[in-house]
Structure 1
Amino acid sequence: MAEVPILVGVGDIINRNLAVHHAAEPAELMLDAISIAFQDTGLSSQVVAGLKTKIDSIDVIRTWTWPYPDLPGLLAEKLRTKPTHTYCSPHAGNQPAKLVDEAARRIAKGETKLAVVTGGEALASLAACAKAGVMPPPNWTPVDKPVTEVFVPSTREMAKGTGAKHTIGAPIQVYPLYENGLRAQRGHSLEDNHTESAKLYAEFAQVATKNPLAWNFPRTAETEDTIGRVSSKNRMICSPYPLLMNAFNTVNLAGAVILTSVSHACELGIARDKWIYLLGGAGTQDSDNFWERPNFHSSPAISRTLDAGLEACGLKKTDIDMFDFYSCFPIVPKLACLHLGLNILKPEKPITLLGGLTSFGGAGNNYSMHAITVMTRKLRAGNGTRGLILANGGVLTYQHVICLSSNPRADNLPYPAHNPLPSILEHNSTPAVDGTAEGEAIIETYTVDFDRKNEPVLGHVVGRLKSSGHRFVANHGDATTLKRLASRSEEPIGQSGYVRASGQSDGRNLFFLGASSKL
């Protein structure tokens, strides 16, 4: 008979002290979070001390802060346990939900008895140490890599080939492509869409002010005006997003959850009011290359993951009492709301429990771990019966959903044995992409990089050739095109122009708006 997986302990830790001598490394923060999670089980300290040595599964969300050679092994050593399963994830924000889902599967199959999933960052301390000229930070675990590499948020390039040639591929650039594409598809003006995003993030900021774990707590929440108004303090990053619509990653935060089975929880004497049932999960991804996706106004991976996640749990969207949609940029919760038929600005149910990566803080890949811990506490407190977490990673690339409940599955079915979705989605509707393009074309979507003085510096265009319908990526071809792309009043999407190769060895395409573009 299959075991029933449950969460029995959750823990979070925040370190606001930025003094060099208080610079706790990510592993230390994770160990603190794990200890808090074990205390949260309600078991005595003596029982907890023995239980830690019986952890047989440790999953770690890879940290941006420090390039540990074997972080799960280091944690196991500190916990004085010898788990049969250890794993450190790749870089991606979907990983907390994915690893908890996979740990639940192993418990259901009887392969794991006591699992820990954890993650954390200390980017704020790392930045403070670098500013003070104290690198590496005192007493941090020695690593082989030069300290100049530790600020890289990912071990992989965000874009290669076509993206790299045109200097685009970072999250701050790709998410705006979708925001602009969705705006045009919905028929909204630039100003109306900007107002919607500012209102959405102002609501999220209010949520964060009520959470002591939020990096901005207890500061006064940003407002629709301060979020939406572009200024020297809220400069434009990549249109249409100013700074306060971008994720803020310089935080010191860690979280951990403890999973076991109902039968083992009974053996241990963990009170039933601590149990939160894992109902199931699902996840998939779109192409790593943004230019190889079907369109820029939807996310098939989000839509498929939400649908499959609910189905795997035997639920309908109306069964969910609270959501937490990953919110690195406004486009992600917007896409999730639109797919589920929720009002973006006035949803009937909560769509964030944390407040987003701007106000709560972007804990590297580990943001959604805190959504799991907070949702667990809310379910225990009776603030609803079922919750759904959507964890997003990459550049709107990787998605994973898990559902939690204060009650077991209503259909009495066992925990799903497999992820119901393929590892990567294939699309028949993706257009051919021309690396080198020439001819009359229209803009499919776009964004513009801005400098620190709020001046546009580089335009990015994803377009279609009129002759073939093939897609291409290009940069702006002249000052007039850049100015029009950066306009707050003119809608560039759907505008006609001309694309041609730059004629330089860089292999770029250049796009020109206007009649002179063919010259």
Structure 2
Amino acid sequence: MTDREDVRSGGQVVVVGVGQLRNNREKDPARAREPLELIRSAVGRAAEDAGIGADALSGVDTVGLVQVVSWSYDDLSGSVASAIGASGARTVESGAGGHQPVAVLTELAAAIAAGDSELAVVCGGEAQSSLELLGAAKEPDRAEGWSRSPGGAGTFSRATGGTERMWDLGLVGPIRVYPLWENRLRHDLGQSFDESQSWSASMYAGFSEVAAGNEAAWNRDPVTAEQVSDIGPDNRMICYPYPLRMNALNRVDQAAAVILASPAAADRLGVPREQWVYLSAAALDADCEDVLERDTYGGSPGLGRSLDAALAQSGSTAGALDVVDLYSCFPIVPKLGALHLGLDRDTELSATGGLTSFGGAHNNYSAHALVAVVRRLRSSGGRGLVYANGEYLTKHAAVVLDTDDPDGFRWSEAHASDHPAVRVDDGYVGPLEIETYTVEFDREGNPARGFVIGRSPDGARTGVRVSKSDRATLSTLVDPGVDPVGHAGTVVAQDDRRLFTLGDS
């Protein structure tokens, strides 16, 4: 459950410029550039796109930065403002999460709609590929010329996402968590493993075709559905059922920027009206932080509410959308979005190219999605939707854009309830029915460990691991001919650990 604030509204907000880039796909150490420089270049490209020239950026009054992961800075938003000549601008720097580009866009647009801002920039960028190329992840001094404030690679810690329970269980990191939803959805839809994988593979192959036409895409060579789904040396299984080509790719150097303005400021700057794309409505939502406390693994209530709210606030429906970009870190997210919106299976769900083919620049992918949707709407007209997802189907942000002139911008935000949807027993031992599961594989292609979430006879939920030595249980969990959801097993105590095994102990 969430509590939604009243819908707020204000004046019109327009996107006047968009810019993006890909850097050093050749992986040349001499061409490595730090995130600050990539972001500055992306903002410059957005200004050029708007036809306002870099000098006009001195009039930017707000800079919203999507948190950078690959390199650490003390005050990157302030550094970006100075770098673009807007040193007096108010700065906003997001937290972690793939929803943040749309969340920051919403915050800056709300300020413009309320008359508290006139010209704003949303931006972000990453240099993960070059950082690893230089070996700077472990030896930051090798990144010569990069900012030292404090410098060094970012880290994934308990503060990044997840609860203490999830960390103690090891159920953190997107590769381990998103498969829980995929395996449950397959069961709920009554699909076979092959049917579900075919859907994922054909969708991601389609995304690769889109990425092939996007100049900022990291991988511009299309792949077939078979290349996405077939397991092999270059496409090993990561966490069941997702092989490598169904996982987001974060080893990229990319940056993107979006320039927002009030109509008066856009006119004053001389931005042609045909460049304008209006922000119609935006909605932020959330599910509870702890995945063990979620109501369901076959859906995401917060995802659905954010989509419904954004469409309702814009006075639109899913059927009226001309362009859609649904977050795609793993196939489950666009699947859930498409199912909720009632879109046909052949609907194009990405204007960008997806986080595997286009590249998942950590938190900033959806800034590129905004660039892609704006460009598509300028070309063909109509209405578009961008949905962005953060953490583990935890944070949700949706925005509707339109080439027609709306009467203003509307936005709303909901907050996750403090009350868990289910009762969790972290010390439970005894019989357990599987709700969902995943199995992580090692680099040699062997099951290495399993994660099971299930219910006790009295309805309590618990999360538990499967030992690498329990080959029988792991083999059954990854058998394409078996649907383990609903199967009975046992949680046993062993050497201060709790382990799940199929059948009786």
TM bin (shorter chain) = over 0.9
- Alignment correspondent of 1:441: 432
Give yes or no for the alignment of 1:415 onto 2:409.
yes
- Alignment correspondent of 1:395: 392
- 1:236-247 residue pairs with structure 2 within 5 A? 236-247=237-248
- 1:270-419 residue pairs with structure 2 within 5 A? 270-344=271-345, 346-347=346-347, 350-382=348-380, 384-409=381-406, 412=407, 414-416=408-410, 418-419=411-412
- Report Cα offsets for 1:444-492 as digits up to 9, x if no partner: 00000100011001010001001x1100001115332122112222111
User: Given that residues 96 and 160 in structure 2 are in contact (C-alpha distance below 8 angstroms), is that contact kept between their aligned partners in structure 1?
Assistant: no
Q: TM-score, normalised by structure 2?
A: 0.94
- Alignment correspondent of 1:487: 479
Give yes or no for the alignment of 1:3 onto 2:11.
yes
1:141 to 147, 150, 175: 147
Structure 2 Cα separation of the partners of residues 304 and 334 of structure 1: 16
Matched to 1:435, the amino acid is: D
Structure 2 Cα separation of the partners of residues 155 and 85 of structure 1: 30
1:195 to 190, 193, 198: 198
1:143 offset after TM fit, Å? 2.9
Distance 1:154 1:511, change over 3 A: closer
Give yes or no for the alignment of 1:453 onto 2:461.
no
Matched to 1:187, the amino acid is: G
Structure 2 Cα separation of the partners of residues 157 and 167 of structure 1: 14
Between 362-371 and 185-194, report the one with greater CA deviation: 185-194
- Alignment correspondent of 1:74: 79
Structure 1 Cα separation of the partners of residues 22 and 33 of structure 2: 10
- Report Cα offsets for 1:184-213 as digits up to 9, x if no partner: 011111122112211111111111112121
- Alignment correspondent of 2:499: 510
Aligned with 1:250: secondary structure? coil
Structure 2 Cα separation of the partners of residues 24 and 332 of structure 1: 32
1:500 offset after TM fit, Å? 2.8
- 1:62-141 residue pairs with structure 2 within 5 A? 62-130=67-135, 135-141=141-147
Structure 1 Cα separation of the partners of residues 117 and 251 of structure 2: 35
Distance 1:157 1:256, change over 3 A: closer
- Alignment correspondent of 2:416: 424
User: Given that residues 10 and 110 in structure 2 are in contact (C-alpha distance below 8 angstroms), is that contact kept between their aligned partners in structure 1?
Assistant: no
- Alignment correspondent of 2:32: 23
Structure 1 Cα separation of the partners of residues 202 and 172 of structure 2: 27
1:156 offset after TM fit, Å? 2.1
Between 443-452 and 161-170, report the one with greater CA deviation: 161-170
User: Given that residues 162 and 473 in structure 1 are in contact (C-alpha distance below 8 angstroms), is that contact kept between their aligned partners in structure 2?
Assistant: no
Structure 1 Cα separation of the partners of residues 234 and 224 of structure 2: 14
1:112 offset after TM fit, Å? 0.5
Distance 1:157 1:365, change over 3 A: closer
Matched to 1:453, the amino acid is: E
User: Given that residues 3 and 262 in structure 1 are in contact (C-alpha distance below 8 angstroms), is that contact kept between their aligned partners in structure 2?
Assistant: no
Distance 1:134 1:106, change over 3 A: closer
Matched to 2:149, the amino acid is: V
Structure 2 Cα separation of the partners of residues 268 and 202 of structure 1: 41
1:160 offset after TM fit, Å? 3.6
- Alignment correspondent of 1:464: 455
Distance 1:33 1:335, change over 3 A: same
User: Given that residues 4 and 108 in structure 1 are in contact (C-alpha distance below 8 angstroms), is that contact kept between their aligned partners in structure 2?
Assistant: yes
1:154 offset after TM fit, Å? 6.2
- Alignment correspondent of 1:174: 177
Structure 2 Cα separation of the partners of residues 212 and 339 of structure 1: 31
Matched to 2:328, the amino acid is: S
User: Given that residues 437 and 501 in structure 1 are in contact (C-alpha distance below 8 angstroms), is that contact kept between their aligned partners in structure 2?
Assistant: no
Matched to 1:381, the amino acid is: S
- 1:192-231 residue pairs with structure 2 within 5 A? 192-217=195-220, 219=221, 221-231=222-232
Structure 1 Cα separation of the partners of residues 89 and 419 of structure 2: 38
Structure 2 Cα separation of the partners of residues 79 and 497 of structure 1: 60
User: Given that residues 5 and 107 in structure 1 are in contact (C-alpha distance below 8 angstroms), is that contact kept between their aligned partners in structure 2?
Assistant: yes
Q: TM-score, normalised by structure 1?
A: 0.91
Distance 1:482 1:311, change over 3 A: same
User: Given that residues 198 and 229 in structure 2 are in contact (C-alpha distance below 8 angstroms), is that contact kept between their aligned partners in structure 1?
Assistant: yes
Matched to 1:19, the amino acid is: D
1:427 offset after TM fit, Å? 6.7
Distance 1:160 1:134, change over 3 A: closer
1:161 offset after TM fit, Å? 2.8
Structure 2 Cα separation of the partners of residues 72 and 212 of structure 1: 26
- Corresponding residue pairs, total: 493
- RMSD (Å), alpha carbons: 1.8
User: Given that residues 314 and 400 in structure 2 are in contact (C-alpha distance below 8 angstroms), is that contact kept between their aligned partners in structure 1?
Assistant: yes
User: Given that residues 168 and 460 in structure 1 are in contact (C-alpha distance below 8 angstroms), is that contact kept between their aligned partners in structure 2?
Assistant: yes
Structure 1 Cα separation of the partners of residues 158 and 370 of structure 2: 26
Identical pairs, percent: 38
Structure 2 Cα separation of the partners of residues 33 and 274 of structure 1: 18
User: Given that residues 58 and 83 in structure 1 are in contact (C-alpha distance below 8 angstroms), is that contact kept between their aligned partners in structure 2?
Assistant: no
Matched to 2:415, the amino acid is: S
Matched to 1:89, the amino acid is: S
1:17 offset after TM fit, Å? 4.1
Aligned with 1:175: secondary structure? helix
1:153 offset after TM fit, Å? 4.8
